[in-house]
């Protein structure tokens, strides 16, 4: 497998906390490399084993939430947009081998449900399990 395609877990880490974090990772048998403000651990087993790369996907889920809010729930005919946003979450989180976006019709229904949830709760927060349930399905 090409090193650039190996699933990664990204950890946002300030420079002052990097030595402590890399030491903890090394004790667990992982090697981390610095990439801008992230420590990146390239490990297929770690990503496939259920380690949710929360920091890496948080921003992309936020983009999906913002996109839905910006359109005020009017998303008819925009299934490709929703699919692309969901695919970015999975790709950047190193989870494409495990999950894929649902079919476009289901993605649009989920995006509408997301909009209703956001309006009802007033909170722009989507927990990982809810995101997966709304927008993803296992890779066959």
Give me the sheet containing 32-35, strands edge to edge. Answer: 8-12, 38-42, 32-35
pLDDT for 2: 39
**107 with 81: CB under 8 angstroms?**
no
Identify which of 108, 96, 117 has the alpha carbon closest to the alpha carbon of residue 1. Answer: 96
Residue 11 has which token pair? 């950890």
Say how far apart CA 139 and CA 7 lie, in whole Å: 15
105 Cβ contact partners less than 8 Å away, ≥ 6 residues apart:
79
Task: Answer whether 0.75 is exceeded by the pTM.
Answer: no
Q: Specify whether the CB–CB gap between 89 and 131 falls below 8 A.
A: yes
Looking at residue 3, its pLDDT comes to 37
Can you say whether residue 79 is alpha, beta or left, with left for phi > 0 and alpha for psi between -120 and 50 degrees?
alpha
Whole-angstrom Cα distance, residue 132 to residue 100?
9
Per-residue model confidence (pLDDT) at position 83: 97
Give the Cα separation of 47 and 44 in Å (integer).
Answer: 5
Query: H-helix or E-strand containing 101?
Result: strand 99-101
- pLDDT per residue as tens, the chain (140 positions): 333 345 666 677 777 777 877 887 787 777 888 777 777 776 665 655 555 455 567 778 888 999 999 998 899 999 999 999 999 988 887 788 889 999 999 999 999 999 999 999 887 778 888 999 999 999 98
Tokens of 28: 């667990």
């Amino acid at each position: 497998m090409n090193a650039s395609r190996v699933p990664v877990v990204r950890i946002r880490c300030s420079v002052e906390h990097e030595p402590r974090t890399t030491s903890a990772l090394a004790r667990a048998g992982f090697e981390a490399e610095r990439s801008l403000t992230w420590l990146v651990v390239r490990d297929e087993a770690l990503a496939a084993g259920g380690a949710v790369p929360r920091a890496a996907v948080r921003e992309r889920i936020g983009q999906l939430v913002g996109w839905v809010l910006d359109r005020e729930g009017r998303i008819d005919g925009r299934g490709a947009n929703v699919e692309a946003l969901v695919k970015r979450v999975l790709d950047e989180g190193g989870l494409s081998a495990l999950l894929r976006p649902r079919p476009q019709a289901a993605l649009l229904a989920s995006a509408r449900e997301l909009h209703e949830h956001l309006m009802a709760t007033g909170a722009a927060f989507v927990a990982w399990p809810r995101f997966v349930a709304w927008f993803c399905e296992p890779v066959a």
